[in-house]
Amino acid sequence: MKPTVREYTNDETLMKDVKRLKDEGIDNQDIYILAHDDDRTDRIAKNVNANTIGLSEQDTKQVVSNLFSKQGDELRTKLQEMGVSEQEAAEYEEDLDEGKVLLLVTNPAKAEPLL
């Protein structure tokens, strides 16, 4: 199932929205953070107790392939593994290159009205 995706330029706004999603009943397991920089991704996810796209969300073959891929290729692959189309993943990857951060919610039925 395709996740709901929202782009952010401000980490604090993203963190407020994650808190609001949780207050409205969205489970931590359905909330993912993705930035171009792994440290930024991890820092934001830790601050809001959200997930990053890791081993359990990806195909093992893709994980091994990502070890030898460029950062952009890895980000597009992660997005596709989450259910985003190839074209959308390429567009989101460009936005990540510009410093934006993505909030992905894998329970779109609950998240749509909140985002």
Tell me the domain boundaries of the chain.
4-109
Q: Which amino acid is at 96?
A: L
**Confidence (pTM):** 0.82
Give me 28's structure tokens. Answer: 């931590």
DSSP state of 74: H
pLDDT at 61: 47
Q: Compute the C-alpha angle 89/43/33, nearest 5°.
A: 25
Give me 112's structure tokens. Answer: 């749509």
User: If you search the block for the tokens 């074209």, which residue do you land on?
Assistant: 87
Neighbours of 105 (CB within 10 A): 24
The closest alpha carbon to 79, from 27, 15, 32, 30, belongs to 32
pLDDT at 73: 83
Average pLDDT over residues 46-53: 93
Q: Compute the C-alpha angle 108/71/34, nearest 5°.
A: 30
Instruction: Give the pLDDT band of residue 13 (cuts 50, 70, 90).
Output: very high
* Burial profile 59-90: b = 16 or more Cβ within 10 angstroms, e = fewer: eeebbeebeeeeeeebbbbbbbbbbbeeeebe
Give me 63's structure tokens. Answer: 């994980």
Instruction: Give the pLDDT band of residue 112 (cuts 50, 70, 90).
Output: low
